[in-house]
Amino acid sequence: MKKIVYFEIIVSIVFCACKQPEQFSVIPEIKFISFGKYQDDKIEDGAMLTFSFQDGDGDIGLNGTDLYPPFDTLSIYYYNFFCDYYEKQNGIFVKIDSIETPKEGMQPFNLNARFPRLSDLPEESIHGEICLTMPFYYDTTSPYNDTIQFKFFIIDRKLNHSNIEEIIVVR
């Protein structure tokens, strides 16, 4: 009788210890966590965007050597993080493609970025958080940007687009 009880306990422990790896869709999924303004020596005015991600085949991120099509510098897929900036003007969010900065005047406004590969293991489900720093300039004299919006998404190496997340910031 004792042998049967021990066997049942051992079998129970083995089954509990054999946790299946998490399975996610191969389409990346993101979720906004936080956004905050900061200043440091390298970026006069900057912000930190943090979001969570999950991907069923782990093909998120690009290395510095990922420069061949479709990830070459002339392609939209050079970036794997895409972010659009909007200002609320007369009650409607308007996409801003260029911005006037105090030092350079009117400049194209591009918040797109590349973040590195997060896994080199093939077909591995991964999840975690990504923190990106970005330039961020509040023109305090502008009557338009008291409420701003960011819409962002990521693309994996198979060119699957994640869902779009958005943030509204009220100054």
Domain spans, the chain: 24-170
Topology of 24-170 in CATH?
Answer: Immunoglobulin-like (2.60.40)
Q: Please, are residues 10 and 41 in contact by the beta-carbon 8 Å criterion?
A: no
pLDDT at site 21: 57
pLDDT at site 39: 67
pLDDT, tens digit (0-9, with 9 covering 90-100), for 145-154: 678 899 999 9
pTM over 0.75: yes
Tokens of 73: 């510098």
pLDDT at site 4: 45
DSSP-derived secondary structure for 16-79:
HH-PPPP---SS-EEEEEEEEEE--SS-SSEEEEEEEEEESS------TT--STTSSTTSGGG-
pLDDT at site 94: 92
Torsion angles phi and psi, residue 52, rounded to 5? -95, 160
pLDDT, tens digit (0-9, with 9 covering 90-100), for 7-25: 444 444 444 444 455 688 9
Distance CA 25, CA 117 (A): 18
Residues of the chain with pLDDT below 50 are 1-19
